[in-house]
Structure 1
Amino acid sequence: MVTTRRIEYPVDGTTMVGHLALPGGTDRRPAVLIAHEGPGLTDHQRERADRLAELGYVAFALDYHGGGRFIEDREEMFARVDELLADPDRMRALAGAGLAVLTAEPRADTSRLAAIGYCLGGTMALELARGGADLKAVVGFHPSLTTTRPEDAVNITGKVLVCVGSEDPIIPVEQRLAFEDEMRAAGVDWRMTIHGGALHSFTHPDLDPDPSARPGIGYHRASAERAWRAMLDLFDEVFPTMV
């Protein structure tokens, strides 16, 4: 049976509020860090943690805004996103604080770690890997693929998967190609899946496509399910003793 708990933890004087989900049993299990989308930690990412725990993983959904806050105002949210995209050290610190919470959990096998993220959270997971975190797998769902420090990709130790919508205006072809060059130059074991017909945030079921309200953004069920299966396939590859 899955058990969950709310965890408060400090980052530079700010109290973050994350969500930990534990599988049944008492043994140590592979552990997955989850980084939320730009607006904030929601039930969607908490449910992802719970679902991973049902599959036998220890999972922690971190908070990178503070107080478990959800940013309603779009301008404020985009300003926060731009601020973090311009500061990879800050993203790595925020993700690293969440990783520290995860690895402090006695059920977490610290030799079998992965990080996944959605939108900005996916970028944050990639930056955590670029910073040299000991991760066996990194998965970004519709993340920004840009970084101000592409040379740091040589520090990536695990396997990388990014899942991108073919119609995502936020991740254009040029950005994909630059990411390919970055991964290739660093000798990373990487893969990219392009999901035909999918927009940005295609994994989020609350975002039905509405061009007038959210141009370029919308849920695409088939792609969301395929991307989730691709992640699990990668986990099967890097955690071969998972039962």
Structure 2
Amino acid sequence: MELRYSADGLDMCGQLCLPAQGERRPGVLVFPEGFGLGAFAKATAERLAAIGFVALACDLHGGGSTIANLDEVLPAIAPLHNDRQRMLARAKGGFDALRARPEVDPARIASIGFCFGGTMALELARSGADVAATVGFHCGLGTGSSGSAASIRSSILVCIGADDPVVPLSERLAFEEEMRAGNVAWRMNIYGGVRHSFTNPTADTFGHPELARYDAGAEAAAWREMLALFDAVFAA
């Protein structure tokens, strides 16, 4: 079902997916890749709902719009990269909308994201939002944040391809130092031989195999690690 909310001055249109259970359930925010709220993010939310979570696939660009061309994505998200308060505003809009739902236990919310969406999830965590777990898949780890790692209240998991040119070793090392300095409960999984967008089955259609490539094995492993983290934080 559509869920409309406001964020960063935009009218957002996300997709809310509900589990079969009637009682209040843990909620999961799903932040999409820079293309916007497309089929992959929606399918991820549906997959989460099927196993018992209330999942909100969040809008990114407003009106539920998407960007089809890879060359147009970077100019569209650059203003958010350069203004982390705007990035945070879009993430927080989804968080507030999900948390307000009567189907959701507001004390049990997780945030996940893919590529740029993972960066958004990390930004939300750095803001001190009341999120139990944060998971980023092939996401930017940049520390030029509007918040601070010391404010993070959630457990952090990032899943990165060792050969992802978008997330170089230097960025991974800087993130490690940031998490350590903030005394965060964190984990970084590195997958050998894996590139960017490894969770997205349509990544091979981007036409840039040196940059983005689907990897079924790494995707399955990252999904298992995410669920294991959810089990740990939601049972606590």
Alpha carbons of structure 1 residues 213 and 194: separation in structure 2 relative to 1, 3 Å: closer
Residue 127 of structure 2 contacts residue 146 of structure 2 at CA under 8 Å; is this kept in 1? no
Question: Which whole-Å CA distance do the structure 2 matches of 1:12 and 1:164 have between them?
Answer: 29
- Deviation, structure 1 residue 207: 1.4
Q: 1:235 aligns with which of 208, 216, 230?
A: 230
**What letter corresponds to residue 21 of structure 2 in structure 1?**
G
- Unaligned segments of structure 1, at least 5 residues: none
Describe how 1:95-106 pairs up with structure 2 within 5 A.
95-106=91-102
Q: 1:158 aligns with which of 154, 161, 165?
A: 154
Structure 2 residue matching 1:239: 3-state secondary structure: helix
Residue 151 of structure 1 contacts residue 186 of structure 1 at CA under 8 Å; is this kept in 2? no
Structure 1 residue matching 2:204: 3-state secondary structure: coil
Q: Deviations over 1:34-85 (max 9, x none)?
A: 1000111111111111111111111101101011111123333101222211
Match of 1:138 in 2: 134
Q: What is the RMSD of the two structures over their aligned residues, measured on CA atoms?
A: 1.5
Structure 2 residue matching 1:208: 3-state secondary structure: helix
Q: 1:66 aligns with which of 59, 62, 72?
A: 62
Match of 2:109 in 1: 113
Match of 1:198 in 2: 194
Q: Deviations over 1:194-239 (max 9, x none)?
A: 01111000000011277x6453111011000100000000001101
Q: TM-score, normalization: structure 2?
A: 0.95
Percent same amino acid among aligned pairs? 47
Question: Which whole-Å CA distance do the structure 1 matches of 2:8 and 2:195 have between them?
Answer: 35
Alpha carbons of structure 1 residues 114 and 98: separation in structure 2 relative to 1, 3 Å: same
Aligned positions, number: 236
Structure 2 residue matching 1:145: 3-state secondary structure: coil
Residue 150 of structure 1 contacts residue 182 of structure 1 at CA under 8 Å; is this kept in 2? no
Residue 169 of structure 1 contacts residue 199 of structure 1 at CA under 8 Å; is this kept in 2? yes
Match of 1:178 in 2: 174
Question: Which whole-Å CA distance do the structure 1 matches of 2:146 and 2:17 have between them?
Answer: 33
Q: TM-score, normalization: structure 1?
A: 0.93
Alpha carbons of structure 1 residues 12 and 126: separation in structure 2 relative to 1, 3 Å: closer
- Deviation, structure 1 residue 10: 2.2
Residue 166 of structure 1 contacts residue 196 of structure 1 at CA under 8 Å; is this kept in 2? yes
Residue 45 of structure 2 contacts residue 57 of structure 2 at CA under 8 Å; is this kept in 1? yes
- Deviation, structure 1 residue 9: 1.8
Alpha carbons of structure 1 residues 150 and 195: separation in structure 2 relative to 1, 3 Å: farther
Q: 1:147 aligns with which of 133, 137, 143?
A: 143
Structure 2 residue matching 1:117: 3-state secondary structure: strand
Match of 2:18 in 1: 22
Question: Which whole-Å CA distance do the structure 2 matches of 1:24 and 1:54 have between them?
Answer: 8
Alpha carbons of structure 1 residues 151 and 57: separation in structure 2 relative to 1, 3 Å: closer
Q: 1:77 aligns with which of 61, 67, 73?
A: 73
Q: Deviations over 1:146-166 (max 9, x none)?
A: 131386111100100000001
